[in-house]
Every structure is written in structure tokens, then in C-alpha cells.
Amino acid sequence: MTQDSVKIHRGLVGVYFDRTKTTFINGKEGVLEYCGYSIHDLAENSTFEETAYLLLNGKLPNQSELSQFNTDLINSRPVSSKIIDIIRSIKDAHPMDVLRTSVSALSTFDEEAGDKSYEATMRKGIRLTSQVPTIVMAHNAIRNNKELIEPSKSLSHAANFLYMLNGETPSESASNLMDKDFIVHADHGSNASAFAARVCASTQADLHSAITTGIAVLSGPSHGGAAENVMKMVKEVGSPDKAKDYVTNLLKSKQRIMGFGHRVYKSQDPRAGHLREGVEKLSHEKGEPEWYEILVAVMDAMKPYQRRGINVNVDFFAGVIYHLLGIPTDLFVPIFAVGRIPGWTIQVLEQYEHNILLRPLLEYTGEHQQKYIPIEERK
């Protein structure tokens, strides 16, 4: 029994499966645009709220649209006390497990959970954009036996996120850097978590299911987990002069250097430069320049690999920024999720709009015509 000869696209490398009006990426030239706007322009001039509006609506908001959007986001920040009870009951789990479980549970308290209309899905996407940071920080307070900090009714998305860490209003430079981080993480084409969210939506599952799927897929070290691993690496390197040997030893043993390489970008990841500037400034501001110096030394050691298209990616600098902002290492992946909710939401909406069940094929390479042997006769 044979199958017609098939061409396998392992890892779906280079496969286009649909069209999008949201994010454009040219991996060869290192170009990233959201709805036609350069990531550089947005990172320098926009805010996360404005960028989220852009992604969700396909256009930049005017002043009154942005004010209404901000109000909707702020009003959506609190989460039900029943979610807090769930978080308490699983407080010792990894924050990504707590986030995945809590977002899944949120659907049971959301009156529109099963409504897959465009309007309801958009409203749920806005609610989730605000609830996810509250969940991440509520869990952080609970596991540290600290009082819960109610989300602010006036701070920006980024400033509120840092505020919920310890109840202190962050400095302007800290919240600007967090804002930039959320902007550059807001969407990224058909990355693994967005693709998985689309697969889920293609079965006509609801937004909470799709975003729970996205969170699960983001948790892996090849995707969202890299920033956490970069921080571990930087601590292990210890000082800039040890970077070269560290990198050489890892590469010799066929291990990967975290924060390097990307499936799509074969030149510099255009998001990375914005965070590089931020980490350089912040590490000097905090009087801890060695973190940035170690990153630079690791980059120098990796220079020969640029020829093979292995460059720093967005996560290389993100980890040290979070560390300098006083964020615990295991919250690094959840931060990625905080920024990515608008991206997952619009991709689910795009999938619904022009839906087709995402169902590829596998070429079977196992045995055929095996004879069934009763269990008592098997060796």
C-alpha cells in the first residue's frame, strides 16, 4: 500500500497558509510592519494602547477613539474574586501554567464566552488584554504572601503592569521601556503561538480557547521561553571576559545560544535594536552596567555566526531589561503573553472572517497489514 509521492515541508518552513492585513515581515531585510506602519516608528512614537488599537482595527485611532479604547482597557483590568481563588489554589505552579489555567477559567465567568461574533470577540480581546496583566501580578503577590495590589484606574497599560509588581508608580523611563517592549511583542505573523491560536479558532472554538492555546504554545523555550533562558545564561557567564569561552563550550556541545536565531529573520531582528538601546540606558541608570557588557560580549562571541543568519532576536535583550526592572525571572514568558494578546485576538478574528479548518496531512511511514495477535500469544 503506497501513498502518492508527497513533498514534506517539515516545520512548515516557508509555507504560506493564508493571507493577513495585520503584520508584514521581510525576514531577509529585517522589516516588520503592523498594518503598514514600521515597527521603528511605532516603538519610537506610539504607545502600547495605540498600537493595540491599530492591530485590532487596522488603523490608528483619532483622539476620541483612543480615549474610549483606554477607558475600555482600564475598566477591564479587575478580575473576578473566583479567579483569584483559583490562582491561590495553584500558586506554587510556574506563572505560565497559572496564566494558562486562569485564562481558561476566565471564560467560565465571561458572559460572552461562547459568542463568536466579531463584536463580542473584539470586546473579549480588549478584556483579556487588560485581565492578563492583572492575573500575572496577582499570582506574583499571592505566591509571595503579599497583599494584592488593585490595578490602577489612571496609569497606562505598561505603567500599571509595573505598578502591580510592588505598588510603586514606576519612573517614566521604566514605564516607557516596558511600553516599548509590549509594542514590539504585540504581533508577529504566523509564529508558533499565533498559528496554534488560529488552528484552535479554525475549529470554531471561542477566543478564550484560542488564547489559552496561544499561551500554552508560547511557554516553550524555542518561543517565549528564550528571555528567561538568556537571563540564566547571562548569570552563568558572570563577567564579559568569560563570554567567549562560555559560548564556545556551548556550541562545541551542540547547544544553542538563547536569544539568537529566528525562523524568519536571517538578518537582524528589527525589534531587538529598540530593546538594546533600552537595556544599555537602564543598566547604566541602575548602576549595573555589567549586564549590558556581558550581552555585548556574547554578541561579539557570536559574530562568526552572523554569516549563517544567526543574529540576536528580540528576547536577547528583553530578559536583562526585566531583571533590571526588578521582575522575577519566571515572569519573563508571561510578560511576552501580556504584550501578545492583541496580536492573538486579531489573528483569531482574521481566521473567523475567512475560515477554513486548518488540517494538514502527515505522510505515514509505519508498517502495513500487521496481523492482530491475541495478547496472551504476544512475546
Contact with ligand ACO (CB under 6 A): which of 91, 116, 244, 256? Answer: 256
**3-class SS at 152?**
coil
Q: Residue 356 has which C-alpha cell? A: 477554513
Q: How far is CA 141 from CA 52, 106, 224, in A?
A: 27, 19, 22
Q: Residue 330 has which C-alpha cell? A: 519566571
Q: Is residue 223 near ligand ACO by the rule CB under 6 A?
A: yes
Q: Is residue 340 near ligand ACO by the rule CB under 6 A?
A: no
The Cα diameter of the chain in Å comes to 77
Cβ nearer to ligand ACO, comparing 223 with 286: 223
In whole angstroms, how close is the CB of 260 to ligand ACO at the nearest point?
4
- 206 classed as catalytic: no
Question: What single string gives the DSSP state of each residue in 64-94?
Answer: HHHHHHHHHHHHT----HHHHHHHHHTTTS-
Cβ nearer to ligand ACO, comparing 314 with 335: 314
Stretch that binds ligand ACO, among 141-149, 257-265, 288-296, 362-370 (CB under 6 A): 257-265
Cβ nearer to ligand ACO, comparing 256 with 281: 256
In whole angstroms, how close is the CB of 175 to ligand ACO at the nearest point?
22
- 269 classed as catalytic: no
- C-beta pairs of 109-112 under 8 Å, 24+ apart in sequence: 109/80, 109/82, 109/83, 110/208
Nearby residues of 75 by Cβ (< 8 Å), 6 or more positions away: none
What are the backbone dihedrals phi and psi of residue 232, each rounded to the nearest 5 degrees, phi first? -60, -45
Contact with ligand ACO (CB under 6 A): which of 131, 209, 313, 351? Answer: 313
Cβ nearer to ligand ACO, comparing 106 with 327: 327
**The one catalytic residue among 139, 208, 262, 274:** 262
Stretch that binds ligand ACO, among 36-44, 161-169, 220-228, 287-295 (CB under 6 A): 220-228
Q: Is residue 266 near ligand ACO by the rule CB under 6 A?
A: no
Q: Which of these, 343, 270, 261, lies nearest to 302 by C-alpha position?
A: 261
Q: Is residue 263 near ligand ACO by the rule CB under 6 A?
A: yes
- Interface ranges with ligand ACO (CB under 6 A): 222-223, 226, 256-263, 310, 313-315
Residues carrying an active site annotation: 262, 315
